[in-house]
Chains A and B, each alone.
Chain A
Amino acid sequence: MKSTRVTNAIRSLRFAHGEMTQAELADRIGVTRQTIIAIEQGRYSPSLEMAFQIARVFKVPLDKVFQYPDGEGEKR
């Protein structure tokens, strides 16, 4: 299974937002807690829509939640 290069700051954002639990975040965006765990651990890349929903919960831009390393995977 190809692993993703996308990293995320969901764990730190949860703690910065009143130590929000994975279950709370899951409820807010309508997914299971297992999905939040998989996203945090980089075992699942969410859809763009789900990514925006997560960013909206934390009231931050998308690139504060998900990051992609510079210069990798780019075609010139």
Chain B
Amino acid sequence: MVLVAVGGYAAYLIVILGRAGSTPLPEVSYVPPLLWTIGGGIVAAIVLNIAVAIFSPDGVGKTDQRDREIGRFGEYAGNSLVVIGGLAALVMAMAELDHFWIANAIYLAFVLSAILGSVAKIFAYHCGFQSS
């Protein structure tokens, strides 16, 4: 999931910066690439999940209570950045910044949330996880 999120964001940045050239960033047409990378990321994540479930050996994709608890822990950790992104967007809207910056702040928060969530899950798997 984190690879899909980071890969999509990297592709988005390449497209946007490629389009920018000498024009100011807020004037770049960002909406189509943004929608395509978010939509593509959702589709890629679903396809990857299905592929892993089909092609992994027996028992490898099996999950249990611990996996679910660690999954929830990762989501919880990642959600903090979505909230921060939402607050940042709120402040930017009140400051009447360009839509470009507001949309990009929210998108960046989504990506960082996916990264933090995945890092938290990896940390929990390696270093231990105690249900509260």
Identify which of A1, A30, A47 contacts B128 (C-beta below 8 A): A1
B59 contacts chain A at the CB level, 8 A cutoff: yes
Q: Provide the residues of chain B in CB contact with A32, threshold 8 Å.
A: 59, 62-64, 66-67
Interface of A is mostly: loop
B22 contacts chain A at the CB level, 8 A cutoff: no
Identify which of B62, B63, B66 contacts A38 (C-beta below 8 A): B66
Q: Given A1-B123, A1-B124, are A31 and B64 neighbors across the interface (CB < 8 Å)?
A: yes
Q: Provide the residues of chain B in CB contact with A22, threshold 8 Å.
A: none
Within residues 26 to 57 of chain A, which ones have a CB less than 8 A from any CB in chain B? 30-32, 34-35, 38, 41-47, 50
Mark B101-132 against chain A: 1 for CB-CB distance below 8 A, else 0.
00000000000000000000001110111110
Enumerate the 3 nearest inter-chain pairs by beta-carbon distance, A residue then B residue, closest first: A43-B128, A31-B64, A35-B66
